[in-house]
Amino acid sequence: MRLSPTLSTYIGRQFLVWFLAVLGGMLAIIYLLDTVELLRRAANKPDASFELVVGMGLLKLPEIGQEVFPFVVLFGGMYTFWRLTRTQELVVARASGISVWQFMAPVLAVALLLGLAQIMVLNPVFSAMLSRYEHLENRYLRGQTSSLDIARSGLWLRQTGETQRYLIHAESVVPGTVTLRRVMVLLEAPGGRITSRLDAESATLADGHWLLREAWYNRPGLPPEFLAKYELPTDLTEERIQSSFASPDTLSFWELPGFIRTLETTGLSSVRHRMHWHTLLARPMLFAAMVLLAAAFALRHSRTGGSLALIGTGIVAALVLFAVQDVVLALGLSGTIPVALAAWAPAGVAVMLGTAALLHLEDG
């Protein structure tokens, strides 16, 4: 029997309503906990006002919010199927000859659309919010005065301080090191005016300074001066430089491919960003897997009883799935397995498990 458009719309709307309800509840809890933590961190920061911290909490919300989306799909799907079965609506649908695959189709369609909307529409907005949050966090909570930017023209680094300010440009980075190649340094006055320029073959980060080799020192009105070595003070460390790179979460789905190419061109590792991009691509499949698991655990009780125990089992199974996903992603980041396999395998395995469970439930 063919599922009518009216019934499809009704089931899909029910899932969307409960998805939004669960999402709103989770985001409210996340926002409350994050804001309390930010207030604790800002307690000894005189420049961090209460209004600023509240705004930062909103900007940080997508950081964890995007991670709980699959759980929201799972819980929304489980409650939708459980409620429709409890009210005998799905029982009547089954009695009229509609299979589990037919009344699951609208929910799967909505889940796939939600996954596409997250990566294509919401992700760029969330990325901009996270980028703004990290800027405010570095400025008001961490007190960092350095920033690093990678563009198509190479690598840019700005150092600001009370005694010396400068802007460094390098064409590339020696892989696995903190050595910049073909470096240009623009020294600035406190007002932002360029006072002199250094052109060096390389610059290596040492303890408290950049060591420039084979540098030419250019100043207005004076002839260029050759320096075999020149030390440029800095408060950067290797760890701070690594943390200053644009994290994958602050880049939108549309920006990531170009940024990955830029990283590879400049000799920097792009594993984290490629992993993030493939993980985003796999989101619709992961959402579909959550619907299949929700149906497998929420619908079974109509025949066997014990609904609460089965739903609890479904939640535990989802937690195990996400724990395994973290392990697989860690293996991908370490280079043990290919990045694409690490990103797509958890969603693919979850789809197969959910499909097998439903086949056993419906036809077994």
pLDDT at 308: 65
Residue 244: pLDDT band with limits 50, 70, 90: low
Per-residue pLDDT reduced to its tens digit, 206-218: 888 889 999 999 9
Distance CA 85, CA 79 (A): 10
Q: What is the pLDDT of residue 149?
A: 57
Same domain, 114 and 29: yes
| 180 bridge partner residues | 173, 203
On whether both 184 and 137 belong to a single domain, the answer is no
- 240 part of a folded domain: no
Specify if 102 maps to a domain. yes
Final residue of a domain: which of 218, 234, 250? Answer: 234
Is residue 247 a part of any domain in this protein?
no
Asked if residue 164 and residue 67 are part of one domain, the reply reads no
Say what the pLDDT of residue 197 is: 93
216 inside domain? yes
Could you read off the pLDDT of 7-28 as tens digits, one per residue? 888 889 999 999 999 999 999 9
Q: Is residue 335 domain-shared with residue 195, that is, in the same domain? A: no
The whole-number average pLDDT for the span 338-347 is 91
Please give the pLDDT value at position 155: 77
Q: Are residues 100 and 165 in the same domain?
A: no
Last residue within a domain, chosen from 234, 249, 276? 234
Q: What is the pTM of this model?
A: 0.76
pLDDT at res. 226: 92
Burial degree of 31 (CB within 10 A; 0-12, 13-18, 19+): middle
Domain limits for position 155: 146-234
pLDDT for 142 = 75
Q: CA 236 to CA 5: how far, in whole Å?
A: 61
In the prediction, which pLDDT does 285 show?
94
286 and 346 Cβ atoms separated by less than 8 Å: yes
Instruction: Say yes or no to pLDDT of 321 above 70.
Output: yes
Indicate the average pLDDT of the chain: 83
Query: Are residue 206 and residue 163 in the same domain, yes or no?
Result: yes
Rounded mean pLDDT of 50-72? 88
pLDDT number for residue 206: 86
CA distance 78 to 290: 9
Indicate whether 244 belongs to any domain.
no
Residue 124 placed within a domain? yes
Q: Are residues 195 and 329 in the same domain?
A: no
Q: How many domains does the chain have?
A: 2
- The answer as to whether 19 is a domain residue is yes
Pick from 266, 287, 244: nearest CA to 147: 244
User: What's the pLDDT tens digit per position in 81-90?
Assistant: 888 888 888 7
- Answer whether 89's CB lies under 8 Å from 7's CB: no
pLDDT digits (tens, 9 = 90+) for 116-154: 999 999 989 998 898 888 888 877 887 665 555 566 667
User: Which pair of tokens denotes residue 260?
Assistant: 């990955």
Q: What is the pLDDT at residue 354?
A: 85
Q: What is the mean pLDDT of residues 32-56?
A: 88
Q: Are residues 16 and 165 both part of a single domain?
A: no
Say whether both 277 and 135 belong to one domain.
Answer: yes
Residue 348 in domain: yes
Residue 167: phi, psi to the nearest 5?
-125, 125
Clarify whether residues 225 and 298 are in a common domain.
Answer: no
10 and 131 housed in the same domain: yes
The confidence score (pLDDT) of residue 267 equals 58
Rounded CA gap, 45 and 39, in Å?
10
Q: Are residues 193 and 106 in the same domain?
A: no
